[in-house]
Amino acid sequence: MTSNLRYGIIVSLVVIVLGQPSFAATVPPVPPEINVPAGAQPFLTGQAVGTQNYVCLPSTTGFSWTLFTPQATLFLTLRFFGNEVQQQVTTHFFSPNPAEGGTVRATWQSSLDTSAVWGAAIATSTDPNFVAPNAIPWLLIQAVGAQRGPTGGAFLTQTSFIQRINTSGGRAPSTGCSQSTNVGATAFVPYTADYIFYRGGVR
């Protein structure tokens, strides 16, 4: 049995037995505008690898790249049997939020129990003391919907807030969307980020 498989089985058993385990790393300093409310506690930190996906559309100023979905996988990195093991913990994309009548929101779905949470960005930061050049902003996201998995899994339903930090890449291209012939063109821009999931807290 490979170490990845062993770890996946152990994580799954922890989720089944404990219901709401914590896999959060130490939270680093962040810009004050994206601080979580008092009482919010981290329970999961995932390292995302994927793309920010844009489409060229008409805009009020002519034409512009418009984000139509992120497409990323979040991994949890732990030491296991003397090795570093990366375990997929969630996928990340846009989808309709049932709690808002189908409003399309950023979505995270657990790879462990298929529970899901939908979020809306409520604060953003491009503070150069934190955000790398040419990287997408850091965000504070509030949960606006959640759903259990088909077998009752509820790991992500406890989410109240999410921070997107330590971003790299992901910004829309600076060219390729300036005229009508560009409309419909797409750009899949690689990015990485850390997402910290919190439970509790009042805003």
pLDDT mean values, one per 10 residues, the chain (203 residues): 42 42 75 96 96 97 96 87 86 98 98 96 98 97 97 96 98 96 98 97 74
Q: What confidence score (pLDDT) does residue 19 get?
A: 43
| 107, two tokens | 């979505």
Instruction: Supply the Cα-derived Rg of the chain in whole angstroms.
Output: 18
Reported pTM = 0.87
Q: What is the pLDDT of residue 26?
A: 79
pLDDT of residue 78: 75
Task: Return d(Cα 151, Cα 167) in angstroms, integer.
Answer: 34
**Phi–psi pair at 11, nearest 5 degrees:** -60, -45
pLDDT tens digits, 91-125: 999 999 999 999 999 999 999 999 999 999 999 99
pLDDT for res 83? 80
d(CA 108, CA 149): 12
d(CA 144, CA 94): 13
